[in-house]
Amino acid sequence: MANLVIVESPSKATAIKKYLGSNYKVIASKGHVRDLPKSSLSVDIENGFEAHYINIRGKGDLIKEIRREAKNAKKVFLAPDPDREGEAIAWHLAAALGLDPEKTLRVTFNEITPDVVRAAIKSPRAIDMNLVNAQQTRRIWDRVVGYKLSPYLWKSVKNGLSAGRVQSVASRIIVDREEEIRAFVPEEYWTIDATLEIGDKSFTVRFYGNADGKIKLPDEASAKFVVSAVTDKEFKVKSVKRSTRQKLPAPPFTTSTMQQEASRKLGFQSQRIMRVAQELYEGVNVGAENGGVQGLITYMRTDSLRVSVEAQNAARELIAAKYGEAFCPKTPRTYKARAGAQDAHEAIRPANVALEPAKVHKYLTVDQYRLYKLIWERFVASQMESATLSTQSLELEAAGYIFRASGYSVAFPGYMAVYEESEEEDARADAHGEQRDLRIPDLVEGTGITAQSVMPQRHFTEPPARYTEASLIKFLDEKGIGRPSTYNTIITTIVSRNYVTRDGKSLVPTPLGEVTTRLMKENFSDIVDYAFTAQMETELDEIEEGNAEMTAVLEKFWQGFSRELASAEQTIGKGDFRLPVEETDIVCDKCGAKMVIKNGRYGKFAACPNYPTCKNTKPLEAEKPQETVQKEEKKAPVVADFKCEACGADMVQRTGRYGTFFACSRYPACNFTKQKTKELDVACPKCQSKILIKTGRNKTVFYSCERYPECDFSSWDMPVAKNCPNCGKMLFRKKGKALLVCHDKDCGYRCETEDTQDSTVSEA
């Protein structure tokens, strides 16, 4: 009788099965198996917030299969991810399967490697109900807020809106920043740069002030006054200071810092970052010479900076061997996490630091390689010696005015030989900051120099930058709003619900987002209050640690929230929360009114403003004039969010005989190309990788595995997220037909449907 191990994902199951051998059977639950039903509140507020869970639609056959395997197993190991959500999945599995507590054990893997997996199986524990209750509290909070607020939004703004607890705060953050930008009044200021030359070396110094201190130059007149005073005057050296300073490496990644850095350096959105990190954690086949299928990184949802002693020692050995003893500090580096951080898991690091990115490059997708390289370099650098910088500062006087220059050069690279942390755009050194690699000539105090040029320049102060995903995650993390595992969901939700839209990397509030935020601030101030939301997260932490009780926390929240609901009910219809109408130049041919833009099921369209008296509608985009088409064709090409795999240059979008593709911007010097593809939210039936939607000859759409030609799966029919009720294999939608068929031709299952569209079937 074999033991049964239940994990979340099929890819993780493959790796773990290999490590445990024939005495263990490993099966995947594919995420949650139970949840609150969508059709009702399903939380009994009057009776201790009792939650009524049901099996998720479409999981019935899977639950039966797992229950059958569990019944025949010697022991059952529940092994979902090692966090609150994973603990809740384990608890729901035990309930849905009716497992015997005596033979049901909980195990967690911080990394999917042979030693860690085997050690975890030898040290099982019981399900931690504190973790489960923390997750339940969050789920009940979100359900109550969503169900109670949404009807209010329907009555006040428009039908179909939904409100979320943390998502509403995130929308407010972006709206508040937009209001700051609108209210910002730019101020003029001037700078003066003098170019000096001594011998064959030239350098630039900037106006600072006088002996009494810094002087601001608010207008052209004040700048010209200084310029005229110092023109043709001698610049006398007052001081030249040279020193050295140590620059410490950045700590290894937490979830928050990984998302910020991958957004800035790789251009990835948070959803993409977390998906790729999950793939690296769950396991990738890196070839027999590197150990086959294994997880490449530790668990990617953490806010701890702790690193195991074994990982530190392995990193130090690699650093000494690869870079030299001088790059390895005398004692291992440790980092202190911020107050309130959870220390259940290590920081994000390579599971095996000896697997350098170059060794596994050919086995990884482009995204996997780039993110793994970032994580590997950050971790190795975090264990290296500090960089030594030679700092230099120069001060000169001319006509009683002071000019300065400061900067640094790298004397010893230390960790900078491997990795340098990026900075937010608005945090980068401005015109008054240090210059990198500044070389000041050997000057002696009292030396006189004549300026080659003295140039004034006009500037204007700039408003605060809009939030990017990276800066929003940083703000949420600093304020304690949400947790590492929720940042991706928060951003995805506010964008998908049209409260926020993307403008390049920037997040911009929509009119809907602004109106909804104003309504929430006026009627539900607690829900969108930063400190209140952060306090709720603290209370979840206290439940997890066993220092608070779930029902008491929910009761306390409900007392305040119910009062706000009652007060808001009295004000429905009193405030003006109508969405602004966007008028077009299209004239209604039935009543002569100027038509307005409306959003419908299939996107935007033009509608008569006199509805329902006049129900005329028109497509929004009429056929463009030839001159407009020609002008648009001459616009700059679209730059992809990934680099050329051959030379590292930008990739740009092109159109060829077989449709749209990406080509290297250095063509014809580099002729690398990549087909433009979209991902289907369904796993490959052969290897569980992603399925890509591709276009063949004659612009015919087909579906194939992203690992082609390593995996040869392809199909003209679309795979759907639904399994055959007969044999459990994947179903396919026949192209252009209202028909689902089984992937196994011997099974012969066929099912008529009402939908012929190319969209995945959601069972959640």
The residues that are catalytic are 299
- In three-state secondary structure terms, 1 is coil
CA dist 622 and 637 (Å) reads: 24
CA dist 20 and 119 (Å) reads: 11
Helix axes 487-496, 270-282, angle to 10 degrees: 140
- Residue 183 burial by CB count (10 A; 0-12/13-18/19+): exposed, middle or buried? exposed
Give which of 381, 282, 394, 302 is closest to 348, Cα–Cα. Answer: 302
Sign of CA dihedral 579, 583, 584, 589: positive
Asked if 644 and 659 touch (Cβ cutoff 8 Å), the reply is no
Q: What share of the chain is helix, strand, coil (3-state, %, to 5)?
A: 35, 25, 40
Side-chain half-sphere CA neighbours of 152 within 13 A? 24
Asked if 677 and 692 touch (Cβ cutoff 8 Å), the reply is yes
Cα 248 to Cα 81, 387, 634, 652, distances in angstroms: 33, 7, 48, 38
Which tokens go with 567? 């007060």
Non-local (6+) Cβ contacts of 162 within 8 A are 146, 150, 153, 497
Give which of 308, 312, 309, 310 is closest to 384, Cα–Cα. Answer: 312
CA dist 132 and 143 (Å) reads: 16
Which tokens go with 266? 């790789």
Length of the chain: 764
Give which of 266, 290, 269 is closest to 361, Cα–Cα. Answer: 290
CA dist 304 and 311 (Å) reads: 15
Helix axes 469-479, 487-496, angle to 10 degrees: 130
| Helix (H), strand (E) at residue 198 | strand 188-198
- CA 732 from centre of chain: 31
β-bridge partners, 271: none
| Torsion angles phi and psi, residue 45, rounded to 5 | -65, -35
Per-residue H/E/C for 203-222: EEEEEEEECCEECCCCCHHH
CA dist 190 and 431 (Å) reads: 11
Q: What is the DSSP letter of 125?
A: B
The tokens 């289907």 sit on which residue?
A: 680
CA dist 461 and 464 (Å) reads: 10
Q: What does the buried/exposed string (b/e) look like for 305-329 if buried means 16 or more CB atoms within 10 Å of the residue's CB?
A: bbbeeebbebbbebbeeebeeebbb
- In three-state secondary structure terms, 750 is strand
- In three-state secondary structure terms, 497 is coil
β-bridge partners, 206: 193, 404
β-bridge partners, 606: 597, 618
Which tokens go with 97? 């399967």
Amino acid sitting at position 104: T
Cα 505 to Cα 11, 267, 459, distances in angstroms: 31, 8, 25
